Structure 1
């Protein structure tokens, strides 16, 4: 009973914390006043987002080493400090150097803090749920993916009431406080807790002891495994689609004449879909296995950009919201496949380090998907060529999933 309550507390805290960390995906809403004040173009905004994803990945690598050393609490405190410093630095931006400052404060400092927190929470929660790896990860990642939709409209409303500098500072303080609160609660189970937790489910139905867990393999063994490269390619392709749409952000609905609030809600559907995809994808991975699940995810990754092209052609905000939802579901389900495959293929012990290595795909996906989309759209004077490339990437992901 004590272990069951502890599992619920860890899961709830992890999901709540990652919900607020998911503000990273609402960057186009969070930084909208700065874009308007300093006259930044779409390519400049997508550069900030690309940097934030790269720094998020680097933060994950750092936290992988912290988890290996058993320094989860110290890692969360470090993440909190970086979040506070990054948001406060962003709120102080002014003058011609504003873009460079935001790249350094939000794009690097705050985003690295989010990456550290993220890659401590996911392995810690997973360690408490050997019987429901995909579902536990999906619940946490649903919070992370939904953060932009939940917090984006709230931030937009606060901007109408308060100076944008006050809102950004307050956001940094709130995120840092949540990370510090989690440091008090989040920790892996003791040996006694691991023995008391249910083991992984067997194909015949009854739960089995932990001896059916996968062999523990470190990074060197993982890099010799063909599965790693297929998973990496799958994540890169669908990451480019998700980050491409997120990188353009609110400019897509604004191009159809949406108001600021409507734009936040429409592009927020990517985050809603991401949350649903992470939860549903986690459950599907547990029930259907990775191959069938990931083929379906790839098909959605193709459908999203195609629907987005039609929304631009018809001027339909409703269809664009559906396109954002499809893109988000695909991206979210792809993301949850990363910790699932990492845990079930290469084991729990080195999960934080292995997952951080797999997550380096997002460095390349952010450069190609986010910044590349911004550059291509600016050069073409249209979002359609970039969306066509995204559709081809979605189709390619289905082929990769078949090989998995």
Structure 2
């Protein structure tokens, strides 16, 4: 049966919409504390465990995801993620915090990691002409998952209670993810979409971009480009996730926003996070991935330097939205960038290794801002520290560009001498 690559993309979005619901976790915090007596730190720890296991499972199971193929991997992710939610339902009914950590945190977190990388590496292979757009569509689904899950979960909690809410969500996501997994497959060997096929045959206008190299995951991590990309992702994610962790109190303390206005800003931040994923990744198909990351760090450096002195709420929110769009854009550009640098041979495994930057940044960014705020009673110092980090990221992106150009030159010399 011939597969439609746009339906493959839709299948990937279905999977990412489901696992992206993890970003709606804050909806459960107060109801859990009220109903079960668990304090804020105890409830939050499960989310931290889930994100940590996302990065760990993506890194350790990446090679197996490549071996299993997207369909089997996505099916396994569906079973693990939904089992985590259904298990959490049982844990809540038993009022067992330990069981809740094991189900939602560990089991669900492993499902998150496998489910995140399985569809993305496949889409890169289906869209060699529009890698950025393809990965942007899927990863936008992850960003948009919370926008859908938040109001639905809140309504369910008020109607059927916490335990049944987790059960309903678990069963719903199982159906949605299995539906996506049942259609998603790798493209045939050497697949090119119609436009690229014609370009290859006629050797006219449509030039096929060749990847810098075709490396396995173990070969990729030995290159300087892998570690340059890791540093770039770590700083970009740290900058965005730091703002996400303090957005509401920051808006209230910095520019005098009301509680309601700050909450609305947090919702709109989710929208720009999702919009940046599809927007910036599509732009990267034309500007090039290196240029987009250099633009990210240049703009964010200026915004972080200006933020301590901003007193206008509208300007403040505009700056935050731009940064969040680039935070989401970094995630969406990453798989396409991996394909450009290392090829698609083991893209899922390499993607998994690089997602450890997310796990590290998820701890570093929020912890740094909390520590500095406790010590200084101000967020301003944090902005200046992140501005310095963004200079490091900008320098790293320039070194990356030089490394790419050097490798291209080497490849051209080898081709000429062959």
Instruction: Please indicate the TM-score interval, normalised by the length of the shorter structure.
Output: 0.7 to 0.9
Q: Which moved more, 1:274-283 or 1:29-38?
A: 29-38
Residue from 147, 150, 154 that aligns with 1:149: 147
Residues 122 and 185, structure 2, Cα contact 8 Å, conserved in 1? yes
* 2:334 matched residue in structure 1: 338
Tell me by how many angstroms 1:278 deviates: 1.4
Q: CA 1:98/1:257 → structure 2, altered by over 3 Å: closer, same or farther?
A: farther
1:357 aligns with 2:359: no
Residue from 218, 230, 243 that aligns with 2:228: 230
* 2:405 matched residue in structure 1: none
Alpha-carbon separation, structure 1, partners of 2:83 and 2:233: 31
Could you say what the CA RMSD is over the residues aligned between the two structures, in angstroms? Answer: 3.4
Normalising by structure 1, we get a TM-score of 0.83
Residues 219 and 353, structure 1, Cα contact 8 Å, conserved in 2? yes
* 2:413 matched residue in structure 1: none
Alpha-carbon separation, structure 1, partners of 2:309 and 2:90: 41
* 2:5 matched residue in structure 1: 7
* 2:322 matched residue in structure 1: 326
* 1:349-370 residue CA offsets vs partner (Å, 9 max, x unmatched): 1111111111111121122123
Please show how residues 240-279 of structure 1 align to structure 2 within 5 Å. Answer: 240-248=238-246, 257-259=258-260, 265-279=264-278
Tell me by how many angstroms 1:48 deviates: 3.9
Residues 127 and 193, structure 2, Cα contact 8 Å, conserved in 1? no
Q: Which moved more, 1:234-243 or 1:76-85?
A: 76-85
* 1:52-81 residue CA offsets vs partner (Å, 9 max, x unmatched): 222111232354223322343222222122
Alpha-carbon separation, structure 1, partners of 2:45 and 2:367: 5
Q: CA 1:239/1:209 → structure 2, altered by over 3 Å: closer, same or farther?
A: closer
Please show how residues 183-332 of structure 1 align to structure 2 within 5 Å. Answer: 183-191=181-189, 194-195=191-192, 198-199=195-196, 206-208=205-207, 212-248=210-246, 257-259=258-260, 265-302=264-301, 316=313, 321-332=317-328
* 1:347 matched residue in structure 2: 343
Q: Which moved more, 1:388-397 or 1:114-123?
A: 388-397
Alpha-carbon separation, structure 2, partners of 1:59 and 1:88: 20
SS in 2 for 1:31: helix
Q: CA 1:250/1:75 → structure 2, altered by over 3 Å: closer, same or farther?
A: farther
Normalising by structure 2, we get a TM-score of 0.81
* 1:27 matched residue in structure 2: 25
Alpha-carbon separation, structure 2, partners of 1:34 and 1:109: 20
Residues 124 and 188, structure 1, Cα contact 8 Å, conserved in 2? yes
Q: CA 1:393/1:32 → structure 2, altered by over 3 Å: closer, same or farther?
A: farther
Alpha-carbon separation, structure 2, partners of 1:391 and 1:305: 6
1:50 aligns with 2:37: no
Gaps of 5+ in 2: 401-418
Tell me by how many angstroms 1:137 deviates: 1.0
SS in 2 for 1:191: coil
Residues 148 and 268, structure 1, Cα contact 8 Å, conserved in 2? no
Tell me by how many angstroms 1:340 deviates: 1.7
Alpha-carbon separation, structure 1, partners of 2:327 and 2:42: 23
Residues 253 and 263, structure 1, Cα contact 8 Å, conserved in 2? yes
- The number of residue pairs the alignment matches comes to 393
Alpha-carbon separation, structure 2, partners of 1:100 and 1:242: 30
Residue from 80, 83, 97 that aligns with 2:81: 83
1:369 aligns with 2:365: yes
Q: Which moved more, 1:6-15 or 1:380-389?
A: 380-389
Alpha-carbon separation, structure 2, partners of 1:154 and 1:327: 27
Q: CA 1:116/1:383 → structure 2, altered by over 3 Å: closer, same or farther?
A: same
Which entry has the higher C-alpha Rg, 1 or 2? 2
Residues 269 and 321, structure 1, Cα contact 8 Å, conserved in 2? no
Gaps of 5+ in 1: none
Tell me by how many angstroms 1:270 deviates: 2.9
Q: CA 1:205/1:142 → structure 2, altered by over 3 Å: closer, same or farther?
A: farther
Alpha-carbon separation, structure 2, partners of 1:247 and 1:46: 12
Q: CA 1:16/1:151 → structure 2, altered by over 3 Å: closer, same or farther?
A: same
Alpha-carbon separation, structure 2, partners of 1:299 and 1:177: 43
Alpha-carbon separation, structure 1, partners of 2:319 and 2:148: 18
1:397 aligns with 2:399: no
